[in-house]
Amino acid sequence: MSGTLADMRATLPATLGALLLLTACATNVQRQEASAPDDNDILVTDRLPAGSFARDEDGFSGDLFVRGFPIIARREEAFCMEQCETVEYVYFRIMETGNAALSDFLHQYAGNAYVQRNAVGLGCKENGALRFSHISEAQGMRDDRIGGEQATDILEANDDGPVTLHLTKEPFSGGSEAPPCFSHFNAIRVRKSVNEPERS
């Protein structure tokens, strides 16, 4: 019995040392994982123009450039009880922007059906085109459509082949019930190069 106790006393320091080492390694791994960059973060870069997008007392407005790709989600019309319209809604997953105010916009609108943590809503995919409703103080609610090459460039982009968009949000300080294909942005334009002239 005494021999067994002696053996246990002899091996205890080594056992405790091993346990402490394992704990230290596990803690180090957790710290490394916590400090690793988030793949879903949006990079603010000077490779894209900053634009005029900013917040004032009436909210956010202006233009900005973003680079990314579409994510399409099937969803029903909000607050609908029967005969609800199902749409293919297009979110634009933003990888890069030249405008730091975009992160404030995404944070402010968190939980909004047309904004995600790293994406903004563009509208609905419909027969190879992009249909969207938008609102402004000057013109109220309007419907728009993007077709042809611009729609193809947006809808066929992916994380390995992203597309650059020039987005414009006109001033609007009120509230309104949003249709299923609503976008917070009033103009959506594809840019092959940030220095090219605008395409209609």
Residues 113 and 75 in one domain: yes
Residues 116 and 92 in one domain: yes
Instruction: Tell me how many domains the chain contains.
Output: 2
Owner of token pair 């969803």? 75
Residues 19 and 72 in one domain: no
Is residue 55 domain-resident?
yes
Residues 53 and 144 in one domain: yes
Q: pLDDT tens digits for 142-167?
A: 999 999 999 999 999 999 999 999 99
Is residue 196 domain-resident?
no
How many Å apart are CA 102 and CA 127, to the nearest integer?
A: 30
Task: Return the higher-pLDDT residue of 190 and 110.
Answer: 190
Q: Could you tell me the pTM of the whole model?
A: 0.75
Is residue 198 domain-resident?
no
Residues 23 and 65 in one domain: no
Q: pLDDT tens digits for 8-18?
A: 444 444 443 43
**Domain of residue 19, residue span:** 1-36
Is residue 165 domain-resident?
yes
Residues 116 and 25 in one domain: no
Residues 30 and 72 in one domain: no
Instruction: Look over the chain and give the mean of its residue pLDDT values, rounded to a whole number.
Output: 81
Residues 136 and 117 in one domain: yes
Residues 96 and 14 in one domain: no
